[in-house]
Amino acid sequence: MDGNGRWAKRRHLPRVLGHQRGVEAVRRTVRAGVELGLSALTLYAFSTENWRRPEDEVSALMGLLKRFIMADLEEFASNNIRLKIIGDISAFAPDIIELIEQARARTADNTGMVMAIALNYGSQDEIARAARAAAAKGEITPETISAELDTADLPPLDLIIRTSGEVRLSNFLMWQAAYAEMLFLDVLWPDFGREHLEEAMAEYARRERRFGGR
Ligand code: IPE
Ligand code: MG
């Protein structure tokens, strides 16, 4: 989800307003994902590198995360959404951790779309943690590492969409992306909505996936 800052800058608005509108785009996209029948939707909300941003922006993002979960939890629950977190949230403030744990518990038995939110997430950190866990149990192989990744219980990754015109992964699902399709859109995240998700799914359907075969 990239481009909140540029969206705000173009309008001569404070960055945090871009993030606020970004939350609206998350709501639209989650609703659309449920309606379009996605089994899982993973949102890259806060990376291991985002701590480098100014403190006021970091705390604004944390505040938005809190408000999003509090305001939308009932909607997730009634839409059969299961909340999952990838990343290491132990670095977050206790009140946020508690809120996340409550939301996770409240939606744990839901069987519909998994909404995975990447928080304090970075692929390199995830792979290092998974490799340590795999080593502690025995052999290190692609399979034993995969089984320890934060995404172990998610379906295989089909499609990565990055908004804002940047063409890089930025430490997102790098292991899982081995054979994923990728789509880089020139849309700024606050402008993203159902029509973009539908178009992305149509583009995905046009791709031919061979997984190294022929
Ligand atoms: C959102 O967009 C990314 C988050 C950390 C949620 P940015 O804040 O990276 O926006 P740009 O890249 O400055 O436009
Ligand atoms: Mg950015």
List the domains of the chain with CATH numbers: 4-204 (3.40.1180.10)
Q: Is 50 a catalytic residue?
A: yes
pLDDT at residue number 127: 98
Q: Stretch 10-24: mean pLDDT, rounded?
A: 98
Cα 202 to averaged position of ligand 2 atoms, centre (Å): 26
The per-residue pLDDT for 13 is 98
Q: What was the pLDDT predicted at 65?
A: 98
Residues lining ligand 1, Cβ inside 6 A: 1-6, 22, 45, 50, 164, 189
Percent of the chain residues topping a pLDDT of 90: 100
Determine the pLDDT at residue 85.
98
Q: What is the pLDDT confidence band of residue 109, given thresholds at 50, 70 and 90? A: very high
pLDDT in tens, 175-214: 999 999 999 999 999 999 999 999 999 999 999 999 999 8
What pLDDT does 205 receive?
98
Distance 29 CA to ligand 2 centre (A): 19
Q: Considering every ligand atom shown, identify the ligand nearest to the alpha carbon of residue 188 and give its number.
A: 1
- Tens digits of residue pLDDT in 156-170: 999 999 999 999 999
Mean pLDDT (the chain) is 98
Is the pTM higher than 0.95? yes
Q: Atom 13 (ligand 1): residue with closest C-alpha? A: 5
Count of beta carbons in the 10 Å neighbourhood of residue 195: 11
Predicted pLDDT at 165: 98
**pLDDT tens track for 72-107:** 999 999 999 999 999 999 999 999 999 999 999 999
Closest CA to 23 of 55, 66, 59, 54: 66
Kindly give the number of the ligand 1 atom that is closest to the alpha carbon of 47.
5
Ligand 1 atom nearest to CA at 46: 5
pLDDT at 95: 97
Residue 7 CA: which ligand is closest? 1
Is 4 marked active-site?
A: no
> In the predicted model, what is the mean pLDDT of residues 102-131?
98
Distance in angstroms (rounded) separating the CA atoms of residues 4 and 8 = 6
Biggest CA–CA distance in the chain, Å, is 55
How close is the Cα of 3 to the center of ligand 1, in Å?
5
**193 CB burial (10 A radius; 0-12, 13-18, 19+):** middle
Per-residue pLDDT, averaged over 142-162, amounts to 98
